[in-house]
Structure 1
Amino acid sequence: MSLQGTANNANVLQLHRQLEQAVTKMLIVLGKHSPEVIGFSIPSFEKREEDEQPEQIQVQPVADFSFTHTAFSQWLAPVGANTRLVKRYPGVVILSSGEQQIIPLISEINRLKDEFAKAVRLGFKNRQSAHENLHKIIPGILLQQATRKIHHLVQTVSSVNFYWAHRPMVKEITKEQALADIDRALESKRYDLTLLNKTEIEQRTQHEKSLISRIPADARIIERRIARVQPCYDIWIKTSGSKIATKLGSKNASLPVIIFGKVGRCNGLSDYYRPVEKKLGPQESIIESELLPRKSWFVTMQPKKKSGVLLGHK
């Protein structure tokens, strides 16, 4: 490793220690103000599983401060545990005092989270390489959990409503990006390659690159995954003199939201049951063909007057 890489790793470790210390300090101050905790414990999911729709998710209500402590400070997996786990902590922490002490601590934590995330990526061409290096210097770290921002609100709230929502995952990919992504599979320890040996990986890579190179110039590559289900919350307030509540905002409920003020009502998170999917008919104005099922890649293009064949791979 170069001197620059060694220096940056030292900076990553230092920022991580500072982040741990800042979170510990905030939790100590938070606990002294006897907050009301309304939390909802849900299972952990592997990163890959989170992109799939579970049949059911059970929710366990919790009202202990230990839930808050774990939510804000736990981002190291036990030795030997899967570091691709995604854990969310929907909930609300309500305080009647302490905003002047706690808000500056939250701001400092969020600043350190930003600096830590930037330092982890510094000097690496892709996210996978950055993550592999990070796990060498901080084994077991769950980066997504470590860098989640803490949100707070100083406001009298009419209600906080928790619910399950589906987050669509659709993005367009250029041919250059697709080819680069395929090439990285030869260099990285990707979880979707564990059942293949080196020769099989090389053969698949060449086949997939050949498919991509044959895509018509006027076609688009679209990555479309099953909608991800995750807990979210809405916050509603009543303005002075108004009898009708208005929605202040919505966020995903990855961490508890800290509210300095009164909360009129909290509509908790209930168990999730997968809804019956409605099958949509094909769009007449778009021709779509499956390209690489393992990547959830499709090729789309406008229909032409003359009939033609759209390349795909199943």
Structure 2
Amino acid sequence: MALDELANFVCENASLIHMYRLPNLPLGAEDEQPESIEIKNIFDGTDQQSKSFLKQALTQLEINAFEENTYLAKRYPGLVVLPPLLKDAFRKLNDRVTSLREEFYASVKRGFKNRQSVHENLHKILPNLVLLSAVRNIRYVEQDIDELASVNFYWLSKKMVKHVKHESATEIINDGVAKLRNKDCFGLTNEELLIRQKKELELISRVPKSSSIVEIRYARVQPFIDVWGRNESDSRNTKLLGLNASLPVIMFSMPHQIKQLCNYNYKAPKKINLPVLIHRKHWYVK
């Protein structure tokens, strides 16, 4: 299997494995922001335990649906250093795995509007398979750089802003009611559901055409990684990568400094200073 071949290559040739084991995600965790996240283990070396954890990170596609959350992908923040002479060999193996992932995703997403719909459909057939785990790619530092100055790990709850057209807002409310009628709706009766629909449609109709409707949400907090480097001729460091640390990032030289990932404690996001349109949809008027 291509993924096993890639994982074995990385594990066997790693000069440094620096990774963090996060706690398992409980059932229902996708609907809430955690108050805290405690790092369970830090792996920092090339011993057998570190290599075993690295291989798990690179190859795990399934999770026991009765024990852990299968709507959220397991995160394996960290970095792995490979000898620079192996960069081309790694890239060849990784390109093959990436191509297979893309082929798989293309085959399962046909006929669905978004990734969540794809995941839910796939989940009915393969309940232990997490879509993101199956399609996420291994990232690596592509640039040839004289010095990897620093690698910084940190937690971030990313702000997501989406503009909603007036006519689309009306369709979303109506479609939601059509799907939920004659079903349990978090304690709402059909009559209460229709009352809520009427009220929300009235609120939307009052929004002037000159104003925008925006949906503002904060994603579930996740570990991120920034990689900074410089060439001898540079006067300052350049940001080479900045991304969600869902898998360890592969590098081809030792970083000069690593700012470690610490335990997470919840911090309330900045207040959104816009009039609220529909609170349950996170819609505001701008």
What's 2:150 paired with?
159
Query: 2:126 aligned to 129, 138, 152, which one?
Result: 138
Q: Does residue 61 of structure 1 match 2:42?
A: yes
Query: 1:91 aligned to 49, 55, 78, which one?
Result: 78
CA contact (8 A) 2:157 2:218 kept: no
Q: What SS does structure 2 have at the residue aligned with 1:152?
A: coil
What's 1:42 paired with?
22
CA contact (8 A) 1:167 1:229 kept: yes
Deviation, structure 1 residue 277: 5.9
Which structure 1 residue ranges, 4+ long, deviate > 6 Å from structure 2?
none
In 1, Cα distance between equivalents of 2:65 and 2:129: 10
- Per-residue CA deviation, residues 98-142 of structure 1 (Å, 9 max, x unaligned), is 333221111122222223223222123455543332223322321
What's 2:212 paired with?
220
In 1, Cα distance between equivalents of 2:113 and 2:270: 40
Distance 1:188 1:62, change over 3 A: farther
In 2, Cα distance between equivalents of 1:30 and 1:237: 22
Distance 1:164 1:187, change over 3 A: same
Q: Does residue 28 of structure 1 match 2:8?
A: yes
Deviation, structure 1 residue 223: 0.8
What's 1:121 paired with?
109
- % identical aligned pairs: 35
What's 1:5 paired with?
none
Q: What SS does structure 2 have at the residue aligned with 1:92?
A: strand
What's 2:164 paired with?
173
Give the TM-score normalised by structure 1. Answer: 0.72
Q: What SS does structure 2 have at the residue aligned with 1:178?
A: helix
Query: 2:241 aligned to 230, 246, 249, which one?
Result: 249
Deviation, structure 1 residue 41: 2.0
Q: What SS does structure 1 have at the residue aligned with 2:5?
A: helix
In 1, Cα distance between equivalents of 2:139 and 2:163: 30
- Per-residue CA deviation, residues 260-291 of structure 1 (Å, 9 max, x unaligned), is 233323221112233466668x5xxxxx4322
In 1, Cα distance between equivalents of 2:22 and 2:169: 35
CA contact (8 A) 2:18 2:42 kept: yes
In 2, Cα distance between equivalents of 1:254 and 1:152: 13
CA contact (8 A) 1:44 1:86 kept: no
Distance 1:102 1:194, change over 3 A: farther
Q: Which structure 2 residue ranges, 5 or more long, are not aligned?
A: 45-49
What's 1:239 paired with?
231
- Per-residue CA deviation, residues 34-73 of structure 1 (Å, 9 max, x unaligned), is 4421001223553332xx3x43222231241233222222
In 1, Cα distance between equivalents of 2:87 and 2:251: 9
The residue correspondences of 1:155-304 to structure 2 (distance < 5 A) are 155=144, 156-185=147-176, 195-196=186-187, 199=190, 202-203=193-194, 204-226=196-218, 228-241=220-233, 244-275=236-267, 288-300=274-286
CA contact (8 A) 1:222 1:297 kept: yes
Q: What SS does structure 2 have at the residue aligned with 1:119?
A: helix
In 1, Cα distance between equivalents of 2:114 and 2:178: 11
The 10-residue stretch of structure 1 (129-138 or 64-73) with the greater mean CA deviation from structure 2: 129-138
- Per-residue CA deviation, residues 286-305 of structure 1 (Å, 9 max, x unaligned), is xx4322211111223xxxxx
In 2, Cα distance between equivalents of 1:186 and 1:127: 22
What's 2:62 paired with?
76
In 2, Cα distance between equivalents of 1:194 and 1:43: 32
What's 2:47 paired with?
none
CA contact (8 A) 1:44 1:85 kept: no
Q: Which structure 1 residue ranges, 5 or more long, are not aligned?
A: 1-20, 283-287, 301-314
In 1, Cα distance between equivalents of 2:134 and 2:258: 27
Distance 1:74 1:185, change over 3 A: farther
In 1, Cα distance between equivalents of 2:207 and 2:5: 55
- Give the alignment's Cα RMSD to 1 decimal: 3.0
Amino acid at match of 2:96: E
CA contact (8 A) 1:47 1:86 kept: no
- Count of residues paired in the alignment: 268
